[in-house]
Structure 1
Amino acid sequence: MAAESPPITDQTRHTQTITADEIEQFAALSGDENPVHLDESAAADTRFGERIAHGILVAGSISAALAKIEGTVIYLDQDLSFERPVYVGDDVTAVCELEADLGGGRYRYATTVVNQDGDVVIDGSAVVLVEPAD
């Protein structure tokens, strides 16, 4: 009899508020000091009209959601499409839905991040390796 795969999480989510402090810390850690993220007056002259969060900072909410899967989760691949800007103070929710069991403990999840209005700000997919919890 073949061993059955452990049960895997069908859907996981993570919600957070994007703060000015987080944006500033991310800029310092990443070295991405683009004025559209840090300078209100410079950002006012852009198509966005105000400061926006780094896309990769917001994408971190996907990682936080995937980390809630039971077991040890190892990121293998991520495709992202940045659909809308995220502004200081926005609430974002990453939703990861199981799409496929790829075998060998690897799973593909559809990954979507929405803002407080339900608008998609990031769309994509991720492949993770899940090692069962002891």
Structure 2
Amino acid sequence: MFSKACEYGIRAVIYIAKKSLTDQKVSLKEVAKAINSPEAYTSKILQKLAKKSIINSDKGPTGGFSMDKHELDKVKLSTIVFILDGDNIYNGCGLGLEKCNEQMPCPVHNQFKTVREDLKIMLETTTIISLTMGLKDGLTFLKR
């Protein structure tokens, strides 16, 4: 459903948020290892997220990636998805057809429309802090 970059981006933000709760900055290597992602690919994703101010990127010996822990309840999953994947997830056809719409629906158009609407609500109401707390408490995982 999400692109690979988006999946890695969501996992990276959750990991960085978890570390930020205890005022820790994390390196690119640490993030890539924690989310099981190639470093070069992770670097590009983190650059996009830093450019849009979702995460902080500090250079130098005390540098690393972090997030303002007082802002974690304001960052929505939908924001990360939009930065990395755009709004295709809200508009795309369930079968990948280019010209699927209300006037010329694909065979799964009406069912997929409901799924897309539910997904949009979930993404717009889920905060990074809510996802981070499950990870912090050991109830959820970023890699197996």
Q: TM-score, normalised by structure 2?
A: 0.22
> Higher helix share goes to which structure?
2
- Structure number with the higher strand fraction is 1
TM-score by length of 1: 0.23
